Chains A and B, each alone.
Chain A
Amino acid sequence: MNKHLANVNGWTIGAVLIIILLFLPNMSIVVGVFSPASDNWAHIKEFMLLNYIKSSLTLVLFTALFTIVIGLSLAWLIAQYHFPLRNFMKWALILPLSIPPFIGAYTYHGIINYTGVIQKTLRNHFEITPNPAYFDIMNVPGAIFIYTLFLFPYVYMITRIFLSHQAASLIESARTLGKGPWEIFFKIVLPISRVSIIGGASLVVLEVLNDYGVVKYFGIQTFSTAIFQTWFGLGDLESSIKLAASLMGIVIVILIIERLLRGGKQYSYSTTKVRPLPLVKLTGKKAFFATSYTLVIFSIAFLIPILQLCSWVILTFGKVPMGDVLLYTKNSVIVAGLGASLIIVCSLIVGNFSRVVNHKFAKVLPKLTVLGYSIPGVVVAVAVITTFIALDRLLAPVYQFWGLDSELVLSVSLFMLISAYVIRFFAIGYNSIEAGFDKIGTDFRDASRMLGAKSLRTFFKVDVPMMKGAIISGFILVFIDILKEIPLTLILRPFNYDTLATKAFQYASDEKIMEASQASLLIVGVSTIAIFVFHKLLREEPE
């Protein structure tokens, strides 16, 4: 009998369909490379491309370096030592993630520009008028500073979890062999956490390449801004597809480098009972240093921008009509909620397929969907809109039949934006769901089937309730990401459809920084609550 055919059922069909839909738009980019080049493209290739590559790589390289230094040092301090405020800092240091970099960028610009709080205080109270050039952060180093502040938690989070859960026996045996903390750090901690450091740093790199808000606001030419400009400025979709393809090429090279750096050294749990690393209590000067270091980072990366945003909200209270703000909030919650729900449903179908169908193809295929997350939002936007316009052309007779007088239906609907979110953030939800499936294994499913329950009943009665934690945390992660998302939403939203993020970005672009504060603070507030819930959820889940 045909072994593979016997496994073809509703799950397989659904899963394969989802995976194809996730891939299709990206394929349109690859196809676009081979379309004939326009005059613009020749110009871009000759004069601009090298600059885009240079500035993008500079941003990526330095941000990665600084986030590793800050993230790793914090992870090591929190995982290994006890000092005043440590328990608070343990999760507070994740909070900078709730501030989207573009909001951080304009907030910091607002703090240190000519009319900002620092220069004003110096002028008014100390009668010092420093050269404003010293306070310019709207350049490449400034962007690196902003990215580092708001992206280091990726490295911190992943490395800390690794260190405090898996490194205990190694670090302890090093200690019994008479090694001091510095030696342990460089000879043990650094090498064994290599995989998690690279994992965190590659997330940072992908975020930087994806970013549109910061570079646009600071006026730095990178791939994201260039794709935007060629498309909307020059109206040249073909050239922007070619640019997108070049960026995709760079991302793929980075992903390959990441794999190579990891090598075969994937450390994993050797036993199911993971012993946490016992904490060493710091006292005196050392404790003071540890607390101050974490406090300084936390203040710069979270507290100060939040205070500034709060003070702007108070200053501008009533300037932005409350009704509008409520509408943007509603829109944000709707798109993020719809997107996250759809992603979780798709992840459950694909995850179950990958678990049930015992074939290499079923294990590898879902992993490839991670590519969607690696590919920057602007590229996904180009891909999705090309696909949807093609779809609309295809469906034109159907529209006519139904008596619709417009030729563009799908490509002006909210549906297009939601699909783009699903393509871009699928990997985030899927990772969480996959981990959930791994954790429960197949025994319960087999047991249920042996008791006569069909696949679907087993799924809803046994798998889904047991994976509640994974489902909720996956939903939260995707929800926050969509809430903060900028390029996709800006490009693909229906006419006049504004979310908190797009509104904050528009106000900031129009130099109405203060008016942007309300929407920004709402994004940060919702994300902070979500991160808090997520943190609690992870802690309460039994090992």
Chain B
Amino acid sequence: MFMDIKNLQFSYPKSPLKTVDNFSFTVEKGEVISILGRSGSGKSTLLRLIAGLEMPVGGSLTLNGKKMFCNQTFLQPEKRGIGMVFQDYALFPHMSVEENILFGLSKMSRKDKKKRVQEVLELVELIGFEKRYPHQLSGGQQQRVALARAMAPEPELILLDEPFSNLDTDLQVKIRGDLRRILKKAKTTAIFVTHNENDAHALADRIVKIKDGKIDKIGRPCDLLGVSPTEIPGMVEITYDELVGVR
């Protein structure tokens, strides 16, 4: 298995309630996982724990054979090789699109860096926007830059926190399709958090439903939500084969 979470536990200081309670879960390489839950269910905390932005109380996490944390170790977020797309994108406002993407590329020659920037921009279809600043982009474009920035260093795992919540509904449907295509094309393993069943349905290979910090259900979208993927709005651009076949 590619990623293995065992008995993950977390609670905020001075809170008797466990935000994440005995969470165990495995992910295969190339899988797109959706963590579905209401607000306050602990789903964003789970993502931040995997990223290393919060420190767990107990449990362990292994990614591609490397220990991220356990009782003895805690690897800092910058050493984990995990990419993250933030809910509000967190594009650095004082840097252009190109500079934002370059920020994550350190151990490369200048030429390779430029090449990689072009590659990811092509992937998200934003060639020609290199010199723009975040405030000169639309919400959808900002999100794609954030995705390109996270993918540029070729992380082993990419995390997306409510990737559609800041977009209007029309855009959501289109971006959803785009996002799945981009992730699959780059063969990236991804975990994204959402409160929207349609998003989970349209994007994920597997859905993890969580409630009060515990796993409620795990399964394929069609098993879990009882609808055939083709009937879901926004799926029109993706064929059924594409959706279930790529694994």
Contact = CB atoms under 8 A, between A and B. Distances in A.
Contact of B78 (A6, A444, A454): A454
Interface in B48-79: 51-53, 55, 57, 71-72, 74, 76-79
A466 B92 contact: yes
Interface in A449-472: 449-454, 461-462, 465-466
Contact of B153 (A3, A444, A451): A451
A358 interface: yes
B86 interface: yes
B24 to A, nearest CB: 19
Given A358-B13, A447-B84, A466-B94, A452 B55 contact: no
A443 interface: yes
Q: What 4 pairs between A and B have smallest CB-CB spacing?
A: A451-B104, A447-B90, A450-B84, A443-B90
Contact of B92 (A444, A449, A450, A454): A444
Nearest to A359: B13
B149 interface: yes
A123 B240 CA distance: 103
Contact of B90 (A359, A444, A452, A454): A444
A446 interface: yes
A451 B52 CA distance: 12
A461 B102 CA distance: 12
B78 A3 contact: no
B19 to A, nearest CB: 14
A466 B78 CA distance: 20
Interface residues of B, number: 30
B93 interface: yes
A452 B104 contact: yes
Interface string A337-379: 0000000000000000000001110000000000000000000
Contacts of A443: 86, 88, 90
A450 B78 contact: yes
Contacts of A450: 51, 53, 77-78, 82-84, 150
Interface string B30-64: 00000000000000000000011101010000000
A453 B78 contact: yes
A444 B146 CA distance: 12
| Most B C-beta atoms less than 10 A away, residue of A6, A447, A454, A462 | A447
Contacts of B94: 465-466
22 contacts: A1-B71, A359-B13, A360-B13, A444-B92, A446-B51, A446-B77, A446-B84, A446-B86, A447-B91, A449-B78, A450-B51, A450-B53, A450-B78, A450-B82, A450-B84, A450-B150, A451-B83, A451-B103, A451-B153, A452-B81, A452-B153, A465-B94
Contacts of A6: 55, 74
Nearest to B93: A466
A6 to B, nearest CB: 6
A77 to B, nearest CB: 36
Contacts of B76: 449
Given A443-B88, A462-B92, A448 B103 contact: yes
Interface in A418-451: 443-444, 446-451
B12 to A, nearest CB: 9
A462 B99 CA distance: 12
A444 B92 CA distance: 7
A447 B86 contact: yes
Interface string A1-25: 1010010000000000000000000
B109 interface: no
Nearest to B57: A3
Given A447-B92, A451-B104, A462-B92, 16 more contacts: A1-B55, A1-B71, A3-B55, A360-B13, A447-B86, A447-B90, A447-B91, A449-B77, A449-B78, A450-B51, A450-B82, A451-B83, A452-B104, A453-B103, A453-B106, A454-B78
Contacts of B149: 451
A360 B153 CA distance: 35
A345 to B, nearest CB: 21
B137 to A, nearest CB: 16
Interface string B137-167: 0000000000001100100000000000000
A277 B13 CA distance: 40
A448 B74 CA distance: 18
A522 B153 CA distance: 55
Contacts of B52: 449
A467 to B, nearest CB: 10
A449 B78 CA distance: 5
Contacts of B51: 446, 450
Contacts of B103: 448, 451, 453, 461
A1 B72 contact: yes
B27 to A, nearest CB: 18
Interface in B86-144: 86, 88, 90-94, 103-104, 106
Given A1-B71, A358-B13, A452 B86 contact: no
A255 to B, nearest CB: 27
Contacts of A446: 51, 53, 77, 84, 86, 90
Nearest to B12: A358
Contacts of A453: 78, 103-104, 106
Contacts of A1: 55, 71-72, 74
A3 B57 CA distance: 8
A109 B209 CA distance: 78
B154 to A, nearest CB: 11
Contacts of B13: 358-360
A407 B100 CA distance: 55
Nearest to B159: A450
Contacts of A451: 78, 83, 103-104, 149-150, 153
Contacts of A466: 92-94
Contacts of A3: 55, 57
